[in-house]
């Protein structure tokens, strides 16, 4: 029987809630709902406006900001349209509050009951800090779209998205430490390769945020080559004069990095799997590696179809969800190869 079972359930519940929040965040982004709440208060915005008068006040406030003035004013944008985008942004923030409560209330209870050992306690304080920082990153991201630009900074969006993934991964790691407390001999070469693969997977997630923030999935909707049957499209050199900016701010350059990095991540995971064949593995290690291979090919396929079909909502969201599952499998596998 698992020791600290209630603490493990608590941590895994947090993982589930972070997953839900990322899914809703994906919908919020893909429906262009992220800038609908132009002001936010911790208490008074717990629920959406409850009367038509309050909805009209919120809508009039929204009209003062760039997204409406530069984009939606030309789209016959009605208050019913506003209610739709408001819901997704409100729901995204509401889940954030729920996560805060789900973390803090049981955390205090476990502290009082002395259910958390000193090592896990330190990790929980890190999680608390990560949660607070994630809330700040969300505000920091939205703020960038309420000044002059009718869209949020793709750098800040990628930061907010990636940090959510990292918070999930670390929460899962802390839970796995409790689920599998026994130490075992580490296969150093596999552990090092798995670490490199995780780092590159995180970079790929960052570039996924760049692609989303710049709407870079709406250009070069071809595969395996980019437009005009080019592997490295001419437009990459035309978008920005600086080479670094071409691959961090140019739509073509960012898409090129994201699609090329996909091959590298697939290759590393396949290499890790076949390299592991030389060693005697536990069932958990073998299953983790096998799941990694399956998920990375599913994710690659989803990425291709998402690009070919011009990022429809359901495909874009499925691609993001699969990235989450892939990170989950990568975290589990690295944990089993490390402990």
Q: Going by C-beta distance under 8 Å and a sequence separation of 6 or more, which residues neighbour residue 139?
A: 40
* Residues 148, 66 contacting (CB under 8 angstroms): yes
Structure-block tokens of residue 41: 């208060």
- For residue range 69-116, what is the model confidence (pLDDT) as tens digits? 988 888 889 999 999 999 999 999 999 999 999 999 999 999 998 889
pLDDT of residue 41: 64
For the cut 90, the answer to whether the pLDDT of residue 323 exceeds it is yes
Number of residues written out for the chain: 339
pLDDT tens track for 28-70: 999 989 888 887 665 556 788 889 999 999 999 999 988 999 8
For residue 224, cis peptide bond before it (omega within 30 degrees of 0): yes
Instruction: Give residue 183's pLDDT.
Output: 74
- pLDDT value at position 39? 74
């Amino acid at each position: 029987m698992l020791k600290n079972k209630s603490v493990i359930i608590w941590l895994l519940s947090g993982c589930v809630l972070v997953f839900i929040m990322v899914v809703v965040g994906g919908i919020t982004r893909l429906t262009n709902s992220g800038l609908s709440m132009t002001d936010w208060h911790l208490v008074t915005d717990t629920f959406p406006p409850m009367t038509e008068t309050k909805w009209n006040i919120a809508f009039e406030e929204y009209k003062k900001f760039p997204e409406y003035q530069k984009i939606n004013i030309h789209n016959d944008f009605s208050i019913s349209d506003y209610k739709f985008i408001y819901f997704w942004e409100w729901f995204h923030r509401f889940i954030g509050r729920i996560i805060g409560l789900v973390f803090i209330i049981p955390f205090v209870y476990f502290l009082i009951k002395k259910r958390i050992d000193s090592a896990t306690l330190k990790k929980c304080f890190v999680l608390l800090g990560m949660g607070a920082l994630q809330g700040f990153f969300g505000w920091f991201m939205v703020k960038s779209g309420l000044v002059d630009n009718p869209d949020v900074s793709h750098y800040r969006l990628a930061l907010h998205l990636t940090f959510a993934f990292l918070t999930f991964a670390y929460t899962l790691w802390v839970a796995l430490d409790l689920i599998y407390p026994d130490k075992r001999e580490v296969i150093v070469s596999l552990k090092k390769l798995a670490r490199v693969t995780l780092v590159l997977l995180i970079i790929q997630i960052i570039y996924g945020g760049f692609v989303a923030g710049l709407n870079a999935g709406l250009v070069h909707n071809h595969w395996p080559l980019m437009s005009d049957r080019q592997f490295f499209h001419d437009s990459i050199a035309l978008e920005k004069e600086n080479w670094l900016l071409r691959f961090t701010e140019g739509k073509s350059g960012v898409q090129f990095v994201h699609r090329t990095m996909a091959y590298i991540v697939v290759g590393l995971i396949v290499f890790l799997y076949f390299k592991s064949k030389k060693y005697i593995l536990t069932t958990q290690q073998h299953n983790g590696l096998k799941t990694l291979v399956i998920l990375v090919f599913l994710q690659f396929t989803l990425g291709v179809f998402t690009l070919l079909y011009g990022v429809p909502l359901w495909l874009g969201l499925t691609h993001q969800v699969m990235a989450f599952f892939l990170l989950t499998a990568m975290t589990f596998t690295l944990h089993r190869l490390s402990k």
